[in-house]
Amino acid sequence: MRSSITLMVTLLIGFVSPASPAQNSAINPLADQIREQEVAVEKAPGKNDGEAWLKLAVLCQDAAQYRDSERAYRRALALLRSKDDATLADTLDHMGTMYVERGQLAKAESLERKALAMREAEHDLLGEGISHMHLSVLLLGRRDYSSAEAEAEIAVSLLAPEQAHHAVQTEGSPEEKMTALIDLSLARCARGGCAAAVPDLRRALGIAQVHYEANSIPVGFLDFLLGYALWKSGDFDSAEKLMKNGTQELSTQLGWGHPTYLQALKQYGIFLNQAGHTTEAEEIGARIAKIEKAPGFAQVQSNRVPGGLDLR
């Protein structure tokens, strides 16, 4: 149901919000979709459409409205327990990612482990790959980088095997393949191996460029991450163009004030200062200040990146 690229953007930049203030449609483009889904839930007989509640939960999560999302997930779980195990596992998995975003990692792990066990029992290799991918992000949030890398390697082997004739094949979407590769890259970077992360990010960017337009979120996000890894590897020249392109591309869809976009801008500003481009860095700082002062902007706190990038 949920686009993995949306999850990737939210999780891997590391936006963690303990609160969920309302955001109006002038700030948050998801507001209209949320209202439409709320109407759909209300129209369901007895408000008993579990899948409608799940869709509402995911939309609220993507909008960083976590309290509303949690309530919707709980309602969805109550209604979907009699459904097939695959649907229930998906719901548990989605809810687990919501808790990761909120920084409630113990709650998240319990749900993710349950989802993985259900998928293993069903021999759902695609689902297993997604579970390992999400567990990798969770472990990165705990700074257990070795375990996170191990989980990410399993995810890549299931979702994005290097060779087409690999013995294990799944129908992973481009988003899932990119996310698995990014998880592995971030785990390696977190262990001080950003140079080793670059090939995986290049491969992920290649997938994004095939399947998405140049100013899309996947391409912009991967441009930024590859630039970040190159920066941390000491290649300032290559990093500068990629980070600039990435932030410009992300601004097209996330420039309304999404935390991911702001975190990317902040890191680009730090890079510019380190590279000696102080004037450009000041311009980035002014842009950030303008966004944060905009009416209706959700004032939330950021935590250390679950994905291992030190975006502070």
SS (H, E, C) 143-176: CCHHHHHHHHHHHHHHHCCCCCCCCCCCCCCHHH
**CATH code of the domain made up of 4-292:** 1.25.40.10
Q: Which two tokens stand for residue 287?
A: 């842009």
Which sequence spans correspond to the domains of the chain?
A: 4-292
Residue-wise pLDDT for 132-155, tens only, equals 999 999 998 899 999 999 999 999
> What is the C-alpha separation between 114 and 131, in angstroms, rounded?
10
Range with the poorest average pLDDT among 165-169, 197-201, 226-230, 291-295: 165-169
Q: Which two tokens stand for residue 265?
A: 């801008």
Is 57's pLDDT higher than 90? yes
- pTM across the whole model: 0.78
